[in-house]
């Protein structure tokens, strides 16, 4: 069984940490079988699974449905629930209550974006209450409108130092790790080397303690857009398309279902029907 200690042990042993996202039961089963180090039920599901343009339109109640599905499929994995937009910014009490709902739904930890006084207090309260927290810095999609779009972060030494300072504050508050999103490899390297807890990169290069990507991106299932940092290991979209087209053709040409996929009526009963029909 993987725990937060697994992440720290992997970092200490200089072994990279491999995380992926999952939103449903069958994907979670596959990731579990592959013994992936952790599964994030990311709020990216708003775009990838539900077709929204961004991650704003997903509620804590929606997230709980997906966390429960993943928890049913991934019995041995470490599951991280991503706290959605406005589910933790109103007050520490609101954040703690919603983080608790995620844990009760089957998550082992929660992820929060950003770092300010409020986030630091919330991280402390969660950790004190037995809820492990993964931080998230650099590009934080929930702040996209205030950041001013999908922009690479940490491009100057001042900005890198500011991200490092936030990461150190999250570390002190009790985060077991921090996601670094969308920044130059050397910026992430500098931050990683100045932290004790692991960094998990997405679009942040190879020097992070581990990596996370959206599973649907690397399997080529989600094709609306493909960020530069995504490597496609499969082209599931085309394979699924091919399968669906073949099914359609076989139905039209009466090749499916064949006898193999059909249930056969006993000859005697068939004869009786013939009698009835011919009578
Ligand atoms: O929502 C998400 O999937 C994320 C990424 C870090 C993968 O936050």
What CATH code is carried by the domain that includes residue 173? Answer: 3.20.20.60
- Residues 274 and 221 occupy one common structural domain: no
Q: Is 37 in the pocket of ligand 1 (CB under 6 A)?
A: no
pTM (two decimals): 0.95
The per-residue pLDDT for range 175-226, each reduced to its tens digit, is: 999 999 999 999 999 999 999 999 999 999 999 999 999 999 999 999 998 9
- Residues 116 and 27 occupy one common structural domain: yes
d(CA 62, CA 87): 11
d(CA 146, CA 151): 11
Q: For 138, left (φ over 0), alpha (ψ -120 to 50), or beta?
A: left
Residue 44 CA to ligand 1 centre (angstroms): 6
- Residues 225 and 197 occupy one common structural domain: yes
- Residues 183 and 269 occupy one common structural domain: no
The per-residue pLDDT for range 10-39, each reduced to its tens digit, is: 999 999 999 999 999 999 999 999 999 999
- Residues 244 and 203 occupy one common structural domain: no
Distances from the Cα of 89 to the Cα of 97, 105, 176, angstroms: 12, 21, 20
- Residues 140 and 260 occupy one common structural domain: no
- Residues 100 and 163 occupy one common structural domain: yes
Q: Is 22 in the pocket of ligand 1 (CB under 6 A)?
A: no
pLDDT at residue 277 greater than cutoff 70? no
Considering only CA atoms, which residue is closest to atom 8 of ligand 1? Answer: 42
Q: Is 215 in the pocket of ligand 1 (CB under 6 A)?
A: no
Take residue 10 and report the two structure tokens written for it. 């992997």
Return the SS3 of 179: strand
Considering only CA atoms, which residue is closest to atom 3 of ligand 1? Answer: 42
Distances from the Cα of 43 to the Cα of 83, 128, 154, 223, angstroms: 7, 25, 23, 17
- Residues 224 and 266 occupy one common structural domain: no
Angle between helices 117-128 and 92-105 (to 10 degrees): 40
pLDDT at 1: 83
Domain extent at residue 261 = 239-278
- Residues 273 and 188 occupy one common structural domain: no
Atom in ligand 1 nearest the alpha carbon of residue 213: 7
Which one from 15, 113, 181, 193 is the annotated catalytic residue? 181
- Residues 114 and 153 occupy one common structural domain: yes
Take residue 205 and report the two structure tokens written for it. 């290069």
Is there a catalytic annotation at residue 239? no
- pLDDT range class, residue 279, cuts 50, 70, 90: very low
Residues 6+ apart with CB under 8 A from 68: 105, 106
Q: Count structural domains, the chain.
A: 2
d(CA 2, CA 77): 6
pLDDT at residue 274 greater than cutoff 80? no
| Closest C-alpha among 58, 56, 22 to residue 40 | 22
d(CA 148, CA 129): 35
Atom in ligand 1 nearest the alpha carbon of residue 202: 6
Q: Is 41 in the pocket of ligand 1 (CB under 6 A)?
A: no
Residue 257 CA to ligand 1 centre (angstroms): 41
Other beta carbons less than 10 A from residue 10's beta carbon: 18
- Residues 228 and 263 occupy one common structural domain: no
- Residues 125 and 147 occupy one common structural domain: yes
Angle between helices 157-173 and 185-193 (to 10 degrees): 40
Residue 42 CA to ligand 1 centre (angstroms): 5
Residue to probe by mutation, ligand 1, list 47, 180, 181, most atoms within 8 Å of CB: 181
The per-residue pLDDT for range 228-252, each reduced to its tens digit, is: 999 999 999 999 999 999 999 999 9
């Amino acid at each position: 069984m993987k725990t937060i200690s697994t992440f720290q042990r992997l970092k200490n042993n200089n072994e990279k940490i491999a995380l992926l996202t999952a939103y449903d039961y069958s994907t979670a089963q596959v990731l579990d079988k592959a013994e992936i180090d952790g599964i994030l039920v990311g709020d990216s599901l708003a775009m990838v699974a539900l077709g929204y343009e961004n991650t704003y339109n997903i509620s804590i109640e929606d997230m709980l449905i997906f966390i429960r599905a993943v928890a049913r499929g991934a019995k041995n994995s470490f599951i991280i629930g991503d706290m959605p937009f406005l589910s933790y910014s109103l007050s520490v009490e609101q954040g703690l209550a919603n983080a608790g709902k995620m844990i009760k739904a089957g998550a082992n930890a929660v992820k929060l974006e950003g770092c300010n006084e409020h986030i630091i207090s919330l991280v402390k309260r969660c950790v004190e209450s037995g809820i492990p927290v993964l931080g998230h810095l650099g590009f934080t999609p929930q702040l996209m409108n205030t950041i001013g779009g999908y922009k690479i972060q940490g491009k100057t030494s001042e900005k890198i130092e500011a991200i490092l300072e936030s990461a150190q504050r999250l570390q002190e508050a009790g985060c077991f790790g921090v996601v670094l999103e969308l920044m130059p490899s050397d910026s992430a390297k500098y931050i990683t080397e100045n932290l004790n807890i692991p960094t998990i990169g997405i679009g942040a290069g190879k020097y992070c303690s581990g990596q996370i990507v959206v599973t649907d991106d690397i399997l080529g299932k989600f094709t609306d857009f493909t960020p530069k940092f995504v490597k496609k290991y499969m082209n599931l979209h085309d394979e699924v398309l091919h399968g669906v087209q073949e099914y359609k053709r076989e139905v039209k040409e009466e090749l499916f279902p064949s006898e193999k996929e059909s249930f056969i009526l006993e000859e005697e009963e068939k004869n009786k029907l013939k009698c009835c029909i011919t009578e």
